[in-house]
Amino acid sequence: MYELGIDAIWFNPWYPSPMADGGYDVTDYRDIDPLFGTLEEAEELIAEANRLGIRVIIDIVPNHCSDKHAWFRAALAAKPGSTERERFWFRPGRGANGEDPPNEWRSFFGGSAWTRTTNPDGSPGDWYLHLFASGQPDLNWSNLEVRREHEDVLRFWFDRGVAGARIDSATLLFKDAALPDFDPEHALVPHPYIDRDELHELYREWRAIADSYPGSRILVGEIWLPDRDRFARYLRPDELHTAFDFEFLACPWEAARLRAVIDATLAAHDPVGASPTWVLSNHDVTRDVTRYGRAETGLGSEEETCSIRTVDLMRGTRRARAAALLTQALPGAVCIYQGEELGLSEVEDLPENVLQDPVFFRSGGTNPGRDGCRVPLPWEGDAPPFGFSDGNASAPPWLPQPASWRNFTAAFQVSDPRSMLTLYRKALHIRRQERAFGDGPIRWLSAPANVLAFSRGDKLICVVNLSEESVELPPHHGVLLASELLDGDLLPADAAVWLRT
């Protein structure tokens, strides 16, 4: 009924979890959290999706597990120096009584990356490392058991027919065992825990596992690395198949900068023969409609630390529509974050008492966190829960949906020719039909200031107008799709078009 036209679905972690970080704190990598269903249901879902030609990609979380995982519980119950503790990073504290953390490392979510344990007799014990929330102890990847376990988990899901794995925090995992302090402004090379060379051997092993299965099974990295060459090393032919292009996601709405990012991305992928994966948003960042509606349209450090700011949602929506056509005209894969296709904006007024993201709590409330982009999807109906759950008052959706979403449900949009959903459905359909949108080069065409124009093959042109004025379209033989109504041969500001030439 709401067919979108996708080839695959990536599920965020669906494993049993105390949900200290939206499921990225896993207690059992081989089961499904009862919140979502059962393992049998997941197996049925994978099989049904495969029958429909939709491939399932799971989320693998190797850097850390939950503090309620059997391994971590065993480690807490065991003594310092035990094999149980070797799977993690336990260290005595500094200071006369071990009252200071073993080093100055900071959690990505704010605060120290260390939490002190309590010994069975109630006395304060060693500390453990967690680069994220305290409920996410980091695993020790130099430990062979940790390695074997994750290989086995990969096989477990491949055996169940999943087509691939998105690897969470893929550049972390290995740590310098000396755990050296460093000045974050002048990070050590190699960095003690980011992008360490040991990762490549690991991903070669994982690639061999993926390749040992029939059909194609893919590995997608979550790789935030500004250095393009280091980024591309993960995509060598015997490592990961692809990685999200966060430089594109983070780029401000400016033609020259977008063009530079696209060129740099393509240039980095080319020598290793990998396909880029373009993204406009995900579950960790402000929704694109909101981002593009702000004065500062890029994703920067300011973005994370400012709370509610002025936003022009009309403008943001126009730009998000244009950005969708830009993204889908590029060579490679496109990953759409649920709700992007409905044009949902960030929910910036969630009351504090419903917030769940550890980023909010660990920053002492100075960072609003990521809950605003994670509010459950509106499917149909005039009031929350909009078909997301069965409307049972005792089990409302885990974050409240705004009443205004009645005009954003899939049902509301599906037959509206001007809706975001219709734009996405049409774009995905055309992208599948037109071979020129597949792999292959893009060729930049001359264009007015702050306008992007490029051709794909010899029959398609994409024009994106990021300027404040309408611009004239290049010569063409017809319009395939436009993000706004065209005014004759004029493309309005903040709009994009696909032309047949």
Which residue number, 169 or 265, has a Cβ lying nearer to ligand GLC? 169
Residue 427 C-beta: closest distance to ligand GLC, Å: 25
Distance CA 140, CA 85 (A): 9
Residue 168 C-beta: closest distance to ligand GLC, Å: 5
Residue 428 C-beta: closest distance to ligand GLC, Å: 24
Residue 361 to residues 111, 249, 366, Cα–Cα distance (Å): 10, 25, 9
Residue 397 C-beta: closest distance to ligand GLC, Å: 19
DSSP-assigned beta bridge partners for residue 444: 454
Residue 92 to residues 55, 65, 101, 212, 307, Cα–Cα distance (Å): 46, 21, 8, 42, 37
Q: Specify the DSSP class assigned to residue 139.
A: B
Q: Which two tokens stand for residue 67?
A: 């503090």
Which residue number, 61 or 355, has a Cβ lying nearer to ligand GLC? 61
**Environment class of residue 28 by beta-carbon count within 10 Å: exposed (0-12), middle (13-18) or buried (19+)?**
middle
DSSP-assigned beta bridge partners for residue 90: 128
Distance CA 268, CA 276 (A): 9
Residue 202 C-beta: closest distance to ligand GLC, Å: 17
Which residue number, 24 or 337, has a Cβ lying nearer to ligand GLC? 24
Residue 284 C-beta: closest distance to ligand GLC, Å: 5
Which residue number, 284 or 346, has a Cβ lying nearer to ligand GLC? 284
Which residue number, 169 or 455, has a Cβ lying nearer to ligand GLC? 169
Which residue number, 157 or 454, has a Cβ lying nearer to ligand GLC? 157
Cβ-proximal residue to ligand GLC, closest one: 24
Distance CA 378, CA 380 (A): 6
Largest CA-CA distance found in the chain, in angstroms, rounded = 80
Residue 193 C-beta: closest distance to ligand GLC, Å: 13
Helix (H, G, I), strand (E, B) or coil at 22: coil
Distance CA 154, CA 157 (A): 6
Distance CA 454, CA 447 (A): 9
Residues 480 and 500 sit within 8 Å (Cβ to Cβ): yes
Which residue number, 347 or 447, has a Cβ lying nearer to ligand GLC? 347
Q: Which residues contact 94 (CB under 8 A, 6 or more apart)?
A: 100, 101, 102
Residue 312 C-beta: closest distance to ligand GLC, Å: 28
Residues 389 and 397 sit within 8 Å (Cβ to Cβ): yes
Residue 19 C-beta: closest distance to ligand GLC, Å: 11
Which residue number, 138 or 484, has a Cβ lying nearer to ligand GLC? 138
In the complex, which residues of this chain contact ligand GLC (CB under 6 A)?
Answer: 21, 24, 61, 132, 168-169, 222, 283-284
Residue 69 to residues 49, 134, 137, 464, Cα–Cα distance (Å): 30, 13, 10, 49
Which residue number, 169 or 281, has a Cβ lying nearer to ligand GLC? 169
Which residue number, 172 or 452, has a Cβ lying nearer to ligand GLC? 172
Angle formed at CA 118 by CA 112 and CA 120, multiple of 5 degrees? 160
Residue 36 C-beta: closest distance to ligand GLC, Å: 16
Q: Which two tokens stand for residue 425?
A: 């459905």
Task: State yes or no: cis peptide before 385, omega within 30 of 0.
Answer: yes
Q: Which residues contact 212 (CB under 8 A, 6 or more apart)?
A: none
